[in-house]
């Protein structure tokens, strides 16, 4: 199983460090993830004061020059609000710089600030995504494009450059809990990245089954339909230490987001429920987190990638220590046990 980290490039709030220092510390963490043997590092895309990832491909390109093996991906690219030509060009360029380590996770995003920012109609949320995904896949598979749609100027035998180092740039579909999105990924034969940030992870099994069934009906084998899982998590030497480090920032961040969306404030009781055996949160010591990843994989019918999202007001030093534990303790435990279960 590939194990990795996703980040939203959280902007400093209570510390006295600059945004420049925060981004450079992020690059140090990506470099560390590569050194400790993690498989993938992903960057989100947001247009909010709290995050510094609105130009994620630029950050990933900087990381490419400082790393050797780790896959560099978006997590996710908000395709509804982007030009597929530029998305492809940016990540194709990243692939060339990284010598074949670029991937894209495309999705509709869970925030909506990009729509007014780029003059888009939020009511066309899904139609925009569907059309732009169609164009992105055509560009990925063809050097010369003839295409027309509703939301972008037509292309007539237009070449798109540069082309990536990889023969076929990997494009994953990032999904939340909408059945149509799972089915769409299967019908297109795209790898699936499932974001589970709350509740019980096993409740997503019917949706993942829907994805696999749609993919099989479209002629794809199960090997062509990998599933990844993105969850909130943080690893420390002990579970108590992990919770003490993680909970305050988590509660602050999700209470603020919840207030915008009409949700109740975060409570410690609710946090503990979501951090239990089947809950979505992965906040514990290496042994417990590794066992939980394996439990979730079994509950979902097998996953091939797991990524931790750790942005919760943690210091650079604590994040580095967690990355080191995930690379040196969690990943080996997961893959040793996974191998013994084959």
Single pTM value for the model:
0.95
Q: What is the pLDDT of residue 45?
A: 95
Q: What is the pLDDT of residue 341?
A: 56
C-alpha angle 122/137/164, rounded to 5°?
A: 120
Q: Which residues contact 336 (CB under 8 A, 6 or more apart)?
A: none
Q: Which residues contact 203 (CB under 8 A, 6 or more apart)?
A: none
Q: What is the pLDDT of residue 340?
A: 56
- Three-state helix/strand/coil letters over 210-221: HHHHHHHHCCCC
Residues 36/328, Cβ–Cβ less than 8 Å: yes
Closest CA to 78 of 61, 53, 95, 96: 53
As beta bridge partners, residue 51 has 10
Q: What is the pLDDT of residue 103?
A: 98
CA separation for the pair 274, 146 (Å, rounded): 48
Domains of the chain and any CATH numbers: 2-340 (3.20.20.30)
pLDDT mean for each 10 residues of the chain (342 residues): 96 85 97 98 94 96 98 96 97 98 92 90 92 98 97 97 98 95 97 94 97 98 97 98 96 85 87 93 98 97 97 92 98 84 51
Q: What is the pLDDT of residue 342?
A: 46
């Amino acid at each position: 199983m590939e194990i990795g980290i996703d980040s939203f490039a959280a902007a400093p709030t209570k510390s006295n460090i600059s945004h420049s220092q925060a981004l450079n510390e992020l690059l140090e963490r990506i470099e560390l993830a590569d050194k400790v043997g993690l498989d993938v590092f992903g960057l989100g895309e947001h247009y909010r004061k709290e995050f510094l990832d609105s130009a994620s491909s630029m950050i990933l390109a900087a990381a490419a020059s400082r790393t050797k093996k780790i896959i560099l991906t978006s997590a996710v690219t908000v395709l509804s609000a982007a030009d597929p030509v530029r998305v492809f060009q940016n990540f194709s360029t990243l692939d060339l710089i990284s010598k074949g380590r670029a991937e894209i996770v495309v999705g509709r995003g869970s925030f909506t600030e990009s729509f007014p920012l780029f003059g888009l109609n939020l009511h066309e949320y899904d139609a925009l995504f569907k059309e732009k995904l169609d164009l992105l896949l055509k560009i990925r598979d063809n050097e010369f494009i003839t295409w027309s749609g509703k939301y972008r100027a037509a292309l007539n035998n237009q070449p798109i450059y540069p082309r990536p180092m990889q023969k076929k740039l990997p494009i994953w579909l990032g999904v939340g809990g909408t059945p149509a999105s799972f089915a769409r990924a299967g019908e297109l034969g795209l790898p699936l990245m499932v974001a589970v940030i709350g509740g019980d992870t096993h409740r997503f099994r019917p949706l993942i089954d829907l994805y696999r069934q749609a993919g099989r009906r479209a002629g794809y084998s199960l090997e062509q339909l990998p599933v990844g899982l993105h969850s909130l998590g943080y690893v420390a030497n002990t579970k108590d230490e992990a919770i003490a480090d993680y909970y305050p920032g988590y509660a602050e961040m999700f209470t603020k987001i919840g207030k915008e969306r009409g949700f109740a404030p975060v409570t410690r009781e609710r946090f503990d429920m979501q951090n239990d055996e089947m809950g979505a949160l992965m906040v514990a010591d290496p042994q417990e987190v590794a066992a939980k990843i394996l439990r979730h994989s079994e509950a979902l019918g097998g996953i091939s990638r797991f990524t931790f999202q750790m942005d919760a007001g943690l210091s650079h030093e604590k994040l580095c220590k967690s990355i080191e534990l995930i690379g040196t303790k969690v990943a080996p435990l997961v893959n040793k046990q996974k191998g013994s279960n084959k």
